[in-house]
A and B are shown apart, each in its own frame.
Chain A
Amino acid sequence: MGTFFQVALDGLFNGLLYAVVAAGLSLIWGVMDVINFAHGEFLMIAMYLSYWLGFIWKIDPLLSSLAGGLFVFLVGALTYKLIISHTIGKSAMSALLATFGLSMLLKNVCLNRFSPNFRLLQGTFLGGKTYNFGGLIVPVPQLAIGLVALLLLTLLYALVKRTRLGWAIQATAMDKEAAELMGINTEKIYLLVFGLGGACVGIAGGLLPSYLAVHPEVGGLFSLIAFVCVAMGGFGSIPGALLASLLIGLVEAFAGFYIAPVFKYVAVFGLYLVVVMVRPRGLFGW
């Protein structure tokens, strides 16, 4: 029974990490109808920033995650201004291909500047720490990321649902022209949304070097799973992304342990296919 709860806990922690990565992606899609292919690379650059801050100035990832959030917010806003804004109103394919190009660019710049080395931070505040509750091991880095994920998702949800800015975001998502007629600066909303999407993944990426190696390819699978979470939860729905991410985390952990580790992603993508077949708009999609 102890093993069952341990596997469940691992699954929940994985799910919360996927949720915070997926939340930004979901927000961008929901408001702008843009799939950001460079989302995984946003995670990767936040991890590099956190790693270098830790390596050079001994700043712990707990603090670096804030810098990661701010930095990737700026990267996101810049991405909108320099790339995405030129694709608005054109075929959806042009934004998708533009972000794909950006992902290649970011990955190759990091490969060139930082080499393909796997970089691990040693001696971080969270790294290696665990709590043991009667045999149930709670890894502190994953716990911290899980709590941060819950906090971020709550804040993001509250921002969208409870504030005037959030209403403006929703209005822009529903009908851009109508929102502009109501005096909403949709250009600023888009910029902010791309920045916020980046900030979410930036904060998560800033924390990850506490236990995960940083390298130029690290964002790839996270990005893929985040797409699945967003599609399964319903494009644009933050609660949907959270629920789908938790489901995916749990399915991954249980399938990995009770069927076979090599089967875990088969189960994840199989579940995705089933959900999409039964409910093409996703769990909370409209």
Chain B
Amino acid sequence: MKQRFFGKGLLLVLVSLLMVAALVGTSVADEKVIKIGTLFPLTGPVALAGQRCRAAVETAAEVINNAHPELQVPLAAQEGLLDGYKIVLIHADHQGKPDVAKSEAERLFDQEKVWAIVGSYNSAATKPASFVAELKKQIFMCGCSSSGALTERNFKYFFRMAPTDKTESIEFVHYIEWINETKNAGVKTVGLIYENTEFGKHAAEEGRMAAEAKGFKVVADVAFNPGATNLNSEVQTLKAANPDAVFGACLGGDYTLWVRTMKQMDWLPKVALNYCTGYQDPIIAGQLGEDANYFMGGTGYAPEFAELMPAVAAVEEIYKAKTDPSVPFDSDSIQEAVALFVLAQAIEKAGSLDPTTVAETLHANEWESPLSMGGKVAFAPGGQNIKAMSMLTQLQGGEYKRVFPVDLADTEPVIPMVPWSKR
């Protein structure tokens, strides 16, 4: 008798559980959500940059999902997309490893059922992850990975916001020509130092081509393994070749090690120009203190650009609440926010959640982007943003001063770099 009672009770509990599960399932299915995957290096050597990129995408999602009429960015005034769809972010970590990036992209699409992915900071990780998206005919929005090779694959579902290494290399060479003409800088030779990755190798290749095309001789080509315990041989090689200008592609901790090793070896080129690297990271610049000064690089955003990009400040406040009140957007993280804002505009304009329709809409239109220096975003075949712009800055007194192009400059560059002994 007792057993029969227990059996009936158990059956009742199971039926109740099934009903609750069915109800919950229905409510989730009815909920109007667009799942977007974010894929960044949240751990590993460049985790700091990855976590900031994630926070930037979260910032964009918050602005899109909620009404923020005070913000001067597209879709801020309304709530959600397509009459009530909300963006839900699913975060994944590729640890800076291409193989992990590929498997995480597969997991995001196959198991998490995300509709698109935003990522992935490291070009080496973006390459396989976006390949997965292309195969599945799903959209991949790339904020800041700068390897030009990414947009030379003629992919239809891949879109990149940032300028490429090629654009930056040409800008570096224009700058050198300008300082030779106007400041009598006497720069004739170039050295390259770069991490031995997809990003670094491509940046160096573009740097070499741009420099040689304008008659500059590349006298040092120094690749190194990221995360090295020291960069002594690397800096010794540069010092022995003594190039007038150095193009650098050193991320995160490697950048600090490079700068400090140059200081120890008491050597500097006349000009040190950096791609999308540790140079643009305001925290790293702060940690290096005085030693960071007089280095230069391509910069898509810094707080000092406020007058050029007035819409950023208010959005930046939301971003700071998600990271650290003292950490503003940087050139890389802001591009990831742009990626989601542009994607959201395309979904709204397409009026559809069919990835192919939205991808075609992305290609066919020009998008408002107050968080980009160019103010607009438009894509060439292959997915490169042809409106992407950056300018050259130089760290002076711990601030990113705009120095080139001249019409946007607010400060004269210091050339040559002040020697270590005179700082």
Q: Could you tell me if B265 and A257 are in contact, using CB atoms closer than 8 angstroms?
A: no
Question: What's the nearest-Cβ distance from chain A to residue B267, in Å?
Answer: 9
Chain B CB within 10 Å, residue with most, of A17, A132, A256: A256
Which B residues are CB-close (under 8 A) to A220?
Answer: 227
Residue in chain B with minimal CB distance to A107: B43
Contact A213 B225 (CB under 8 A): no
Q: Number of residue pairs across A and B with beta carbons under 8 Å?
A: 106
Report how far A253 CA is from B229 CA in the complex, Å. 12
CB-CB contacts of A200-226 with B at 8 A, as 1s and 0s? 000000000001110111101110010
A221 to nearest B CB, angstroms?
5
Indicate with 1 or 0, residue by residue over B45-68, a CB within 8 angstroms of chain A CB atoms: 111101100000000000000000
Interface 0/1 of A81-125, CB less than 8 Å to B: 000000000000000000000000000100100011111101000
Contact between chains at A221 and B233 (CB < 8 Å): no
**What residues on B are CB-neighbors of A218 within 8 Å?**
253
Q: Are A14 and B232 in contact (CB under 8 A)?
A: yes
**A265–chain B nearest beta-carbon distance, Å:** 6
Whether, in the assembled complex, B100 has its beta carbon less than 8 Å from a beta carbon of chain A, the answer is no
Which residue of A3, A213, A225, A265 is within 8 Å of B240 (Cβ)? A3
Chain B residues, Cβ within 8 Å of A118: 48, 252-253, 256, 283-284, 287
| Chain A residues whose C-beta falls within 8 Å of the C-beta of B240 in the assembled complex | 3, 257
Instruction: Flag if A111 contacts B47 (CB, 8 Å).
Output: yes
Q: Which residues of B are found within 8 Å of A174, using beta-carbon distances?
A: none
Bound CA span A225–B47, Å: 23
Q: Does A60 contact B (CB under 8 A)?
A: no
Decide if B288 touches A120 in the complex (CB within 8 Å). yes
Q: Does A277 contact B (CB under 8 A)?
A: no
Q: Kindly supply a per-residue 1/0 record for chain A positions 242-272, scoring 1 wherever the CB is within 8 Å of any chain B CB and 0 otherwise.
A: 0000000000110111001110110000000
Report the count of interface residues on B (CB-CB < 8 A). Answer: 39
Kindly state the separation between the CA atoms of A14 and B265 in the bound complex, as whole angstroms.
15
B234 / chain A contacts, CB cutoff of 8 Å: 256, 261
Asked if B229 contacts A225 (CB within 8 A), the reply is yes
Given A128-B264, A130-B266: A264 and B43 interface contact (C-beta under 8 Å): no
Q: Hey, which chain B residues are within 8 Å of A108, CB to CB?
A: 43
B224 touches A261 (CB 8 A): yes
Is A10 in the interface zone, CB < 8 Å from B? Answer: yes
A166 at the interface (CB under 8 A from B): no
**Complex Cα gap A128–B259 (Å):** 11
Judge whether A265 and B225 touch: CB under 8 Å: yes
Across the interface, do A10 and B263 meet the contact criterion of CB distance under 8 Å?
no
Q: How far is the CA of A128 from the CA of B266 in the complex (A)?
A: 10
As a 0/1 sequence over residues 65 to 100 of chain B, the CB contacts with chain A under 8 angstroms (1 = contact) are 000000000000000000000000000000000000
- Output the nearest chain A residue to B324 by Cβ-Cβ distance: A115
Is A211 within 8 A of B264, CB to CB?
yes
List, in ascending order, chain A residues with CB within 8 A of B43's CB.
Answer: 108, 111, 116, 216
B356 CB–A CB distance under 8 Å = no
A17 to B223, CA, bound (A): 23
A155 interface hit (Cβ, 8 Å): no
The answer to whether A116 and B264 touch across the interface, beta carbons within 8 angstroms, is: no
Q: Is the CB of B45 within 8 A of A217?
A: yes
For residue A34, give the distance in angstroms from its CB to the closest CB of chain B. Answer: 24
Contacts of B222 in A (CB 8 A): 261
Residue B357 lies at the interface, judged by CB distance under 8 Å to chain A: no
Q: Determine if B236 is an interface residue (Cβ-Cβ < 8 Å).
A: yes
Q: List A contacts of B47 (CB < 8 A).
A: 111, 116, 216-217
User: Given contacts A118-B48, A212-B257, A261-B237, are A137 and B264 in contact (CB under 8 A)?
Assistant: yes
Query: Is the CB of A6 closer than 8 A to any CB of chain B?
Result: yes
A102 to chain B, nearest CB (A): 17
The chain A residue sitting closest to B45, CB to CB, is A217
Residues of B within 8 A of A (CB): 43-48, 50-51, 196, 222-225, 227-234, 236-237, 240, 252-253, 256-257, 260, 263-266, 283-284, 287-289, 291
Given contacts A6-B236, A139-B264, A217-B44, 19 further A-B contacts (CB under 8 A): A7-B233, A10-B230, A10-B233, A14-B230, A116-B50, A117-B283, A118-B284, A128-B264, A128-B291, A137-B265, A211-B264, A212-B257, A213-B287, A221-B227, A221-B228, A261-B224, A261-B237, A262-B196, A265-B225
9 intermolecular pairs with C-beta atoms under 8 Å apart: A14-B230, A116-B50, A117-B48, A118-B287, A122-B287, A132-B266, A137-B265, A218-B253, A253-B232
Closest 6 pairs (CB-CB, A-B): A256-B233, A116-B47, A120-B287, A262-B223, A10-B232, A261-B234
